[in-house]
Amino acid sequence: MVQLEISVETLDGVGVASIADRIELCAGLSEGGLTPSIALVEAAVFAAGTAQVHVLVRPRPGGFAYCPDELALMRADIRHAVAAGAAGIVVGALDGDEVDIAATAGLVDAARGVPVTFHRAFDRLAEPLPALDALAELGVERVLTSGGPATVDVDAVAALVAHGSLTIMACGGIRPHNVRAVLDRTGVTAVHAAPRIPVGTASTYPGTGVPEGHDRFATDADAVGELRELTR
């Protein structure tokens, strides 16, 4: 059976995504995802129904090389998220174009046995196949990846699946129009999507990235419903 994960940043989004198998909960999706508040984690766990809530832990926008203080903050956020009921944790830490082994080990340890997903920092690695083995040894359960590009590269993802070290969750512009092709051509058993639509009134803040006449994005309920039907 295909596992469907939907990434959301609001409690309304949690309600929309509750028909999925998993919810990746974060803040700042326009920044690539940031750590959500513990209040939002607690509310999401309550509102998610049968969907598992996997909490993204990322302390700031930008790259994925973290200083000791940032790593300490991430470990604390992970412990708080698990205590609040998170069913999984989503993290990533790099040392140049390689996995930061020591940092990742500490983050996995902080999760206290809760499943850990290594996020799209993976797509910045120079040698992804050996990295799969290293992550598996650290106790990471799955990797979220497009295969490298911004949108999913089915051949690259298929090669990662064939390597067989751990679960590969495909992502990168996955929508109802292409999800079946991604599943059929890669062999993945899990897909991740973050379909959003602009809503609200005109923004008074320039540079938000939201189309003119709107002030924010919301989870696209129609797209989530179609993805659920197509991945059953």
- CATH number, domain with residue 52: 3.20.20.380
* pLDDT for the residue 200: 77
More confident residue, 211 or 143: 143
pLDDT at 198: 87
Could you give the C-alpha distances from 138 to 12, 81, 100, 164, in angstroms and in order? Answer: 34, 20, 11, 15
Domain that holds residue 152: 3-230
Whole-number Cα distances in Å, 43 to 15, 27, 157, 168, 217? 11, 14, 34, 28, 20
Q: Please report, rounded to a whole number, the percentage of residues in the chain having pLDDT higher than 70.
A: 95
- DSSP-derived letter for residue 216 is E
Rounded to an integer, what distance in angstroms lies between the CA atom of residue 118 and that of residue 211? 31
Per-residue pLDDT tens over the stretch 57-79: 999 999 999 999 999 999 999 99
* Position 211 confidence tier, pLDDT thresholds 50, 70, 90: confident
Distance CA 23, CA 37 (A): 15
* pLDDT confidence band for 3 (50 / 70 / 90): very high
Higher pLDDT, 201 or 173: 173
Cα(39)–Cα(69) distance, rounded to whole angstroms?
A: 23
| pLDDT at 228 > cutoff 60 | yes
Q: What is the pLDDT of residue 206?
A: 58
Residue 134 three-state SS? helix
| 28-37 pLDDT, tens digit each | 998 999 999 9
Specify the 3-state DSSP secondary structure of 56.
Answer: strand
- How does the average pLDDT of the chain come out, rounded? 95
Which of these, 170, 222, 168, 174, lies nearest to 194 by C-alpha position? 174
> What local confidence, expressed as pLDDT, does residue 133 receive?
96
Residue 127 has a pLDDT of: 95
DSSP code per residue over 148-190: SSSS--HHHHHHHHHH-SSEEEE-SS--TTTHHHHHHHH--SE
Rounded Cα distance, 73 and 79, in Å: 10
Model confidence, pTM: 0.94
The pLDDT value recorded for residue 208 is: 60
How many whole angstroms separate alpha carbon 159 and alpha carbon 153?
10
Helix or strand holding residue 45 (H, E): helix 38-47
The band of 203, judged by pLDDT with boundaries at 50, 70 and 90, is low
Q: What is the mean pLDDT of residues 178-204?
A: 90
Classified as helix, coil or strand, 136 is helix
Amino acid occupying residue 222: D
Token pair of 211, please?
């189309």
| Across 99-106, average pLDDT | 98
Question: What's the number of domains the chain is made of?
Answer: 1
Q: What integer pLDDT is reported at residue 205 of this predicted model?
A: 56
Average pLDDT over residues 75-88: 98
Within 8 A by CB and 6+ apart from 81, the residues are 38, 41, 55, 57, 89
Instruction: Specify the pLDDT at position 209.
Output: 67
| Residue 216, pLDDT score | 83
